[in-house]
Amino acid sequence: MSTHELTERAAADLADAIRRREVSSEEVVRAHLERIDEINPAVNAIVSYRPDEAIDRARELDALSARGLSMGALHGLPFAVKDLMDVAGLPTTSGSRIHVGTVAQADSVISGRIRDAGAVFVGKTNTPEFGVGSHTFNDVFGITRNPYDLARSAGGSSGGAAAAVTSGMLPVADGSDLGGSIRNPASFGNLVGLRPTAGRVASARPGNAWDPGSVLGPLARTVRDAALLLSVISAPERRAPLSIDEDPALFLSLQPRPFAGARIAYSPDLGGLPLDPQVRAATDAAARLAADLGAEVIPVDLDLSEADLVFETFRSLEFLDAHGDEAAEHPDLVKQTLKDDIAWAAGFTAETLVRAAGARTRLFRRFQALFDDVDLLLAPCVQVLPFPVEWEYPTEIDGVAMDRYYSWQRSCSRITATAMPALSLPFSFSTEGLPIGVQFVGPYRADRTLLEFGLTWEGAVADTMARRPPL
């Protein structure tokens, strides 16, 4: 197979081909390394690049294959973990000058699972400093650009992961999502991105392990590839109190779930959020497509009045906990938006925390009650199109000023506040040729159901999903 054929094939297909010894791991890894060498100088998605080590590891895996052995579901596939997570032997910079030269001594939980499944690490994927903000740039590695338009943002904070998968440098990638850090770059990159239920992909990271806000999940070009990676990275973890004790193999037997007969709630603006007119038109068109597929689409006026309080309170607390000391010790090496989050948290009163905790419980129960009557919620995934890379963040949408650096992400962050799983799926392109995705939200722990509806949606928007970047 040619380099192009190998880098365009789905991850699940490549894994099967390696397993059947139709192609070697070395061939697959070399093809992706060639693609990285060709594309990454322009896109800047892969950092801490290790091509020679990757080839050596691929040869080791091919030797196992020759003996009829397989490491697991990702045997022989190239992989790069988001640069917020440790991979033994590779730097973990978190996009921060504070951590340049910091080499991980051991794998994080997610990296260990990916390694144990047979993946070949080729490097890391770029992220904004400490994952703050949904535009991927930092003072260590620079800006990650959108493969569909190099003058535009790839989103973030999993922007490097998304851009690498979109452009064929990786077959699949991991991401993390607090305020939309999987879903935004998935929409910006014409990808599938799943924000799983908290605890589905367990972590042993420091911090408040009881907080369901920040989760880990997959980014892929197809639903089955997202499910393949989810089957690898989701498993119980004793150190994670929200960990879900279900067999990860349940994501390997997905069956398309028909829209015919389904009841789908439709929120065109998630509580009155401003949207770019093209995003609004695309989301309305997506609702019509769901109806054309046989679903009963029910417009709803959701009560999300407390969602911003919930998200903004617990987000700021997370950053105060994780980076407050570093920001105080190295104020000249930390960007202003992180300092702002830390300062907001430092100003919270006990009353603020009590109100936010109670509001989070009310939101959760309100959405679980919604899903007593409907199967899914359809909503806009992003509020804007991919924006110019020179912007730190959008400061207004359709004439409405944004009050904080993440206010333009509220179509994602309001869903985060509910603790429900959410799936970003491709839908259409703007007049400028930029991807626009939509967001399906499901009941708590209904990750498999979301993916099965996603399989059906994927078939309905196959032409959109096949539209590759001009690179």
| Nearest in space to 183 (alpha carbons), one of 353, 364, 422 | 422
CA–CA separation, 220 and 447 (whole Å): 15
Q: Which of 94, 181, 187, 234 is catalytic?
A: 181
- Which residue type, as a one-letter code, is found at position 108? S
Instruction: Determine whether 407 is an active site residue.
Output: no
Quote the distance between the C-alpha of residue 126 and its chain's center: 13
In Å, how far are 28, 122, 143, 417 from 34, measured between CA atoms? 10, 12, 21, 41
Among 82, 187, 411, 424, the one annotated catalytic? 82
108 is catalytic: no
Phi-psi region of 447 (alpha: psi -120 to 50; beta: other; left: phi over 0): alpha
Query: With contact defined as beta carbons under 8 Å apart, do 169 and 32 qualify?
Result: yes
Question: What whole-number distance in Å separates Cα of residue 37 and Cα of residue 249?
Answer: 35
Name the amino acid, one letter, at 135.
H
Asked about 94 being catalytic, the answer comes back as no
Please give the structure tokens belonging to residue 323.
Answer: 């980076």
Quote the CA–CA distance of 13 and 49 in Å, as a whole number: 25
Of 25, 94, 108, 157, catalytic: 157
Give the closest residue to 226 by CA, choosing from 82, 26, 425. 425
Among residues 381, 391, 387, 458, the alpha carbon closest in space to that of 423 is found at: 381
What positions carry a catalytic annotation?
A: 82, 157, 181
